[in-house]
Amino acid sequence: MTSDLLAPLDLAFWNIESDRNPMHLGALGVFSAHSPTAGAHAADLLAARAAAVPGLRMRIRDVWQPLSLSFGSAVRETDPDFDPLHHVRLHAPTADFQEVAGRLMERPLERGRPPWEAHVLPGEDGVSFAVLFKFHHALADGLRALTLAAAILDPMDMPERRPRPEEPARGLLPDVRKLPGLLRGALSDVGRALDIGASVARSTLDVRTSLALTSDPSGTRRTAGVVVDLDDVHRVRKTVGGTVNDVLIAVVAGALRRWLDERGDGSEGVAPRALIPVSKRRPRGAQPQGNRLSGYLIRLPVDDPDPLARLDSVRTAMDRNKDAGPNRGAGAVALLADHVPAIGHRLGGPLAAQAARLWFDILVTSVPLPGIGLKLGGNPVTAVFPFAPLARGQSLAVAISTFRGHVHYGLVADAEAVPDLDRFARALTEEVETLITACEA
């Protein structure tokens, strides 16, 4: 049985998980159904196709070999007892996909099996169904999860690309021929690590956040989805400049302001730190397993009453981060995982999980989707809501996908800390309207 060591960041995600803070990504795809039995047929298709996808057969096994450099690590290997029926589940019909998705997102994945699941949710209306995909963050980041999910949907007509070789398995010792280059790289990495550490220390100074964004973990989850017309976002972007992503982040800042004021917490003086993950994958290259992530850290101008000024602040902060690059700054803490030995991840996982609250206040991540139609059993996807894992001590996470002319916000919250998640979802839609009105004034 072939196996390879988890990359350091994958190992970190594997070890910071707890029962109340599961570390899986999610995506809720809503399909238009051709018949009332389309959901059941979709579950059969997913189970039949999963067996043929190597990445879905991979389990994660801890390594405890004494006197080994990999002691305390974990390996990714093929599960000899893989059974798709352990991972694909058909549920009873429901009238509320998001309500069911929230309950399913709070359940950790079974660690002894390949850490993914696909939950098929038939709609009570008989003309729709949904599929909630869950992938452990140690198995895949957003782009890799998309690749795995797409492999069990209907085949897509894509132009042929010459495949690039997968990365070789991670061995216990480096190739001696590469040692000079590795040494230079190590010295550079030390400087980068010191720079990131100093940036993190500075980012914790003068922290201005809201108690509504922090909570003791209850282990409960609530999800919600918001759909925004992409043309409206482009109208704002063309009027004031910046990127689509700048506008979408500014919408989150404005929605937080509206939500905090409506629930009575108040937005005055609030400028929470938002972590904006940055993928380091090459879109047209191979899709190696595991995570290829860095990030940017910005302060959301929640306390600014002017919607256009909020957008300008976000754009300026994002431009500053892009000029510095994804390898430096407080948002690049994920890169420090490479500097921690395996046993350090094992022993320090719980401490690292608790430190997330000190590093950032809310996650705002974008997950790209293909511009072509997605189908399952011939039934087309009408919406895709991505869900991010909720860091320990935080009450809300925002994930964003753009798909076929619409922006889909996927919201995950601690259900006890944020019982009014629907109010925040409504605030996102209202903030888009506010920005459009401000641009037309």
- Average of per-residue pLDDT across 374-394: 94
User: Which positions ≥6 away from 67 have C-beta within 8 Å?
Assistant: none
Model pLDDT, residue 173: 42
Distance CA 240, CA 311 (A): 9
Range of lowest pLDDT (19-28, 330-339, 379-388, 425-434): 330-339
Tokens, residue 114:
């390949």
- For the chain, what is the mean pLDDT? 83
Q: How far apart, in Å, are the Cα atoms of 347 and each of 73, 99, 304, 350, 411? A: 11, 36, 42, 7, 31
Model pLDDT, residue 356: 66
Task: Answer for the pair 257, 272: CB distance below 8 angstroms, yes or no.
Answer: no
Range of lowest pLDDT (142-151, 218-227, 265-274, 429-438): 142-151
pLDDT exceeds 60 at position 408: yes
Task: Answer for the pair 327, 314: CB distance below 8 angstroms, yes or no.
Answer: no
pLDDT tens by residue, 305-321? 999 999 999 999 999 98
Backbone angles phi, psi at 165, to 5 degrees: -65, 145
Distance CA 199, CA 220 (A): 33
Among positive and negative, which fits the CA dihedral 340, 343, 349, 355? Answer: negative
- Beta partners for 5? 75
Tokens, residue 21:
């803070």
- Beta partners for 119? 89, 132
pLDDT exceeds 80 at position 343: no
Tokens, residue 142:
């957003």
> Global pTM?
0.85
Range of lowest pLDDT (168-172, 242-246, 276-280, 400-404): 168-172
Model pLDDT, residue 372: 73
Model pLDDT, residue 277: 85
- Average of per-residue pLDDT across 412-435: 97
pLDDT exceeds 50 at position 412: yes
Task: Answer for the pair 306, 171: CB distance below 8 angstroms, yes or no.
Answer: no
Q: Give 342: exposed, middle or buried? Use CB within 10 Å, 0-12, 13-18, 19+.
A: buried
pLDDT band, residue 158 (cuts 50/70/90) = very low
- Average of per-residue pLDDT across 339-345: 53
pLDDT band, residue 368 (cuts 50/70/90) = confident
Q: How far apart, in Å, are the Cα atoms of 3 and each of 87, 111, 266, 373? A: 21, 16, 52, 35
pLDDT band, residue 194 (cuts 50/70/90) = very low
pLDDT exceeds 70 at position 150: yes
393: alpha, beta or left, given left = phi > 0 and alpha = psi -120 to 50?
A: left
User: Which positions ≥6 away from 237 have C-beta within 8 Å?
Assistant: 243, 244, 246, 247
Amino acid at 66: P
DSSP states along 231-288: HHHHHHHHHH-S-HHHHHHHHHHHHHHHHHHHTTS--TT-B-EEEEEEE---TTS---
Q: What proportion of the chain, given as a percentage, has pLDDT over 70?
A: 76
The larger pLDDT score, comparing residue 116 to residue 182, is at: 116
Distance CA 30, CA 42 (A): 12
Model pLDDT, residue 354: 63
- Average of per-residue pLDDT across 194-198: 47
- Beta partners for 385? 28
- Beta partners for 136? 24
pLDDT exceeds 80 at position 125: yes
Model pLDDT, residue 106: 96
Range of lowest pLDDT (72-81, 88-97, 165-174, 373-382): 165-174
The larger pLDDT score, comparing residue 201 to residue 312, is at: 312
pLDDT band, residue 336 (cuts 50/70/90) = very low
Length of the chain: 441
pLDDT tens by residue, 30-75? 999 999 999 999 999 999 999 999 999 999 998 876 545 556 788 8
Model pLDDT, residue 210: 85
pLDDT tens by residue, 214-257? 989 999 999 999 999 999 999 999 999 999 999 999 999 999 99
Among positive and negative, which fits the CA dihedral 297, 299, 302, 308? Answer: negative
Distance CA 169, CA 414 (A): 37
Name residue, tokens 């970190």. Answer: 12
H or E element at residue 32: strand 24-32
Distance CA 427, CA 258 (A): 6
Of 351, 380, 409, nearest to 18 by C-alpha is 351
Range of lowest pLDDT (18-22, 96-100, 103-107, 155-159): 155-159
Distance CA 154, CA 142 (A): 20
